[in-house]
Structures are given as C-alpha cells and as structure tokens.
C-alpha cells in the first residue's frame, strides 16, 4: 500500500506540474503566432488590395479641384469598381493641373474615347473616379511616344457643370440688371409716367363706356347664338343645294340633248335646202331675165309717154307720105 501511495505521490510531484505548464505556454504561443500572422495578412490585404489581380497604371490630369478624392478611392467603370487611386499630386510642369495615378484591372477595356470624371457620393463630399464612354470598335488606349503610362481624357464633373451653369445665369442676371438700370433713366421714367397716365385715361374711358361694352357683349352673344342656329341649319341647306345642283345638272343635260337635236335638224334642213336650190336656181334665173326684159319695155313705154302723152288717147302719130309716095 505504501508503494502505490508512493507512486501516486511521485506522479503528482513538482516536476510533472512544470512539464504541463510548459506545454500550455507552447500552445498559447503557437495560437498567438497564428493569430498575429492572420491579422497581418488581413491588414496587408486591406491596405494593398488583392495581390492575385493584375493592374495597369493610367494617368489623368484634372484642372478642377479634386477635393474629396483620396488615395485608394475607388475607380468605377459604368458603376462597376475596376480599380483604385494610387497617387494624387500636382503636375510638375503645370501646377494648375492635378495628376492622378490610377491602377485599373488589366481586363477592363480602356479605349481612346474613354473619359474620366469626378463623381461625388451625395452630399458627403467623398469623390471617386468614374469612367464612361468607349465604343466596342475603338482601339485600346496606349502610351504616347515619350510617356510612361497612357493618359485618359477628362471631362467636367457634375458640380463643375452646375457651377458653370450657375455662373452663366448670374452673369446673365447681372446683364439684365444693368440693362434695367440703364432703361430706368430720367427720360424713360418720364415716358413711363406718360404711359401710365394714358393707361389711366383709357381705363377711365372704358369705365364710362362700360354700358355700351356690355350691350356689345350681349349683341355678340346673340350673334353667336344666331351663328349656332345657322350652323345647325347648314346641313339642311347643303342638302338643298345638292338637290338644286342635281336639278341644274339634269336641266343642263336636257338642254344639251335639245341643242343636239336642233343641230341635227339644222344640218338636215341645210341638206334639203341645198337640193332645192340646185333645182329652182335655173328657173329663178330665167324668171329674172324675163323680169329684166319686162322692166326694159316698161322703161321704153314710160319714156315715150313722157315725150308724147297723147299717145295714150290717140295712139302713135302716123307720118304723112311724102310727094310722089
């Protein structure tokens, strides 16, 4: 019994307790190392992005303010995030422009007509780079001779366009104010007062003639009523006119038929008259010749009676025979 008790006492001694404590420390240290490594990896991934993707570098030059844009700001192509902002600095040869370095995924089709603009998220002031445009048949953007990276075209942001429009509106309002100030000089004010006085006179005259105007309005209303009644009777009148036109057309056709019959009768009469003329013309000519002879005889008788009227009673004078007859 003492031996078993001694063995149990030996296992629970101070040396065994130190060995168990060391194993616990080793496990805790390994866990801390693994957790620290994972934390460092996650931190690096969040800081520098996904190392498994290939990115290409592009440059853009902005002449407007890039307030709200920051390093690692997203770069979006038609709303899809395709990269990030790598750097922001002033252009060395032109401090009026801001040089923005972009890291964009290699598979994104950046063409020569792709345009980069600043996009702001609501009223927060946080900005990002928005890419738009680019036809499918356009060539890909390449670095120009002497340039290290391709340079994207830029366009004005929404705020810039809005500021431009507001500035133009304010400038136009200033011009209108200046024109109004020049218009309201002393001479024009006098003319305006005269116009107002004339308007007052006209309104007074209109007030005096109000009864006449009311009567005219009533007459106009009555005229409109009569016009409405006349327009209501217009279909019947049109029907009557159509009937009258039909009757006139029928009468014209009858007249045309009558004239055709008359023309045919005249032509037939002309043919008969020509035949009659051919038959009676010789006899008529003979009659004219006899009448001419008769007229000649009557002229001789008349001339002889004028020379000796006694011939009517005594007849012609007989001449006495001469001597020796």
pLDDT tens for the 325 residues of the chain, in order: 344 444 444 444 555 666 667 777 778 888 889 888 888 878 776 665 555 578 899 999 988 888 888 899 999 998 889 999 999 999 888 888 999 999 999 888 889 999 998 888 876 778 889 998 878 888 888 998 888 899 999 888 776 777 677 778 888 888 887 777 776 666 677 777 778 888 888 887 777 777 677 777 777 787 788 777 767 776 776 777 777 777 777 777 777 777 777 777 767 666 666 666 666 667 767 777 777 777 777 777 776 666 665 555 555 554 555 555 5
How many whole angstroms separate alpha carbon 171 and alpha carbon 182? 17
105-132 as b/e: b if 16+ CB within 10 A: beebebeeebebbbbbeeeeeebbbbbe
Element (H, E) at 21: helix 14-48
- Kindly tell me the sign of the dihedral angle through the C-alpha atoms of 183, 186, 191, 195: positive
pTM, full prediction: 0.41
Number of C-beta neighbours around residue 84 at 10 A: 19
How many whole angstroms separate alpha carbon 253 and alpha carbon 245? 12
* Residue corresponding to tokens 């009533």: 218
Residues 6+ apart with CB under 8 A from 117: 129, 130, 132, 154, 155, 156, 157
Long-range contact set of residues 187-195: C-beta below 8 Å, sequence gap at least 24? none
Structural tokens at position 130: 């928005």
Number of C-beta neighbours around residue 151 at 10 A: 15
Residues 6+ apart with CB under 8 A from 54: 105, 106
How many whole angstroms separate alpha carbon 85 and alpha carbon 57? 10
Q: Are 65 and 163 in contact (CB under 8 A)?
A: no
pLDDT for the residue numbered 102: 92
- Strand-pair category, 114-120 with 94-105: unpaired
Strands (E), 127-282: 127-133, 153-154
* Residue corresponding to tokens 């009026």: 96
């Amino acid at each position: 019994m003492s031996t078993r008790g001694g063995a149990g006492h030996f296992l629970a001694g101070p040396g065994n307790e130190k060995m168990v404590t060391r194993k616990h420390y080793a496990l805790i240290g390994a866990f801390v190392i693994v957790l620290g490594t994972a934390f460092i990896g996650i931190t690096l991934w969040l800081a520098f992005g996904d190392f498994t993707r290939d990115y290409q570098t592009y440059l853009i030059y902005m002449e407007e303010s890039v307030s709200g844009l920051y390093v690692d700001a997203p770069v979006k192509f038609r709303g899809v995030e395709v990269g990030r902002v790598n750097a922001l600095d002033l252009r060395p040869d032109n401090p009026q422009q801001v040089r923005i370095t972009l890291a964009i995924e290699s598979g994104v089709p950046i063409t020569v007509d792709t345009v980069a603009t600043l996009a702001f998220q609501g009223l927060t002031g946080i900005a990002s780079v928005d890419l738009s445009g680019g036809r499918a048949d356009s060539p890909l953007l390449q670095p120009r001779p002497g340039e290290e990276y391709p340079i994207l075209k830029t366009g004005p942001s929404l705020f810039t366009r809005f500021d431009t429009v507001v500035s133009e509106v304010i400038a136009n309002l200033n011009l209108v104010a200046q024109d109004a100030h020049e218009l309201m000089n002393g001479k024009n004010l006098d003319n305006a007062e005269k116009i107002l006085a004339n308007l007052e006179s006209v309104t007074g005259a209109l007030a005096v003639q109000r009864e006449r105007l009311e009567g005219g309005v009533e007459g106009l209303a009555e005229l409109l009523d009569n016009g409405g009644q006349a327009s209501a009777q217009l279909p019947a009148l049109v029907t009557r006119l159509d009937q009258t036109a039909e009757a006139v057309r029928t009468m014209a056709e009858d007249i045309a038929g009558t004239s055709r019959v008359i023309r045919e009768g005249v032509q037939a009469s002309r043919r008969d008259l020509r035949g009659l003329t051919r038959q009676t013309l010789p006899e008529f000519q003979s009659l004219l010749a006899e009448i001419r002879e008769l007229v000649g005889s009557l002229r001789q008788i008349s001339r002889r009676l004028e020379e000796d009227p006694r011939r009517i009673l005594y007849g012609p004078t007989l001449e006495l025979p001469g001597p020796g007859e």
